[in-house]
Amino acid sequence: VRERFEDLLNLLNIKSDGKDYDIYLWGVPISSQSNKNNFIEKFREVSRNFNETSSKMTEPDVMIKLSDKIVFIEVKYLSANEIKTGEEFAKYLIPDVEKEKLIESGHYELFRNWAFASKLSYGNDFILINLAPKKLFSSKSQSKLIQFENSLKSTKGKFVKLTWEEILEKVNNKEYDMWFKNYLNKKLDAIR
């Protein structure tokens, strides 16, 4: 398990001591090494502070709680980043963002994840990764994504665009089971 977790960090370009970690998919714990804190309860507390209803709480695709940082991953495969304009942003506004630039970018879902990661980090480092096909980052919406990125002014937070193609390249250059490589290659062929 430890070796696979280190592989995951490598695939995501994350540097960490990796001694203690918890991994959550859509808010559900799937792997835990720390058990030192109640991360999900803290997540729910942040959700309540943002006045979310308990039946419609934000659930990031992937959350990784490391001993030295928090990582949120917004995963896109066949869909684009959610774009909205208007009042939705107000609920999640936090310091260290340029409000007008942020709202104009329309990247509501990414910002909501950014706001949660920022609050949950309690002033420590955090990363928001937007994992998507390469074409999403080079499409007509690229300028709005750059505007979103430029609206983030946190010294502790980092926004990262990571492509499925980058992950596949790393997988293909390492000794993984052939079924896994074939599976990923086939999945990426479907989105190219």
- Per-residue confidence (pLDDT) for residue 33, from 0 to 100: 63
Q: What is the pLDDT of residue 55?
A: 78
41 vs 31, higher pLDDT:
41
d(CA 135, CA 149): 17
| Residue of 186, 150, 141 lying closest to 168 (CA atoms) | 186
Helix (H/G/I), strand (E/B), else coil: 14? coil
What pLDDT, in 10s, does the model give residues 89-138? 999 999 899 999 999 999 999 999 999 999 999 889 999 999 999 988 88
pLDDT of residue 158: 97
pLDDT band at 165 (very low <50, low <70, confident <90, very high): very high
DSSP H or E stretch at residue 158: strand 157-163
Q: What is the mean pLDDT of residues 146-169?
A: 95
User: Does residue 64 contact residue 70 with C-beta atoms inside 8 Å?
Assistant: yes
Tokens of 28: 């559900």
Q: Tell whether the model's pLDDT for residue 179 goes beyond 70.
A: yes
Helix spans in 89-177 (H) = 99-105, 108-120, 134-137, 142-151, 164-172
What are 104's two structure tokens? 């104009």
CA distance 36 to 26: 20
Considering 5-14, 16-25, 158-167, 173-182, the range whose residues carry the highest mean pLDDT is 158-167
pLDDT given for residue 37 in this prediction: 62
User: Is 9 a residue whose pLDDT tops 60?
Assistant: yes
Q: How far apart are CA 67 and CA 154, in angstroms?
A: 20
What is the dihedral angle through the alpha carbons of 98, 101, 103, 106, rounded to the nearest 10 degrees?
Answer: -130
The reported pTM is 0.92
* Distance between CA atoms of residues 77 and 140, nearest Å: 17
Average pLDDT of span 45-58: 86
pLDDT attached to residue 38: 83
Whether pLDDT at 68 is above 70: yes
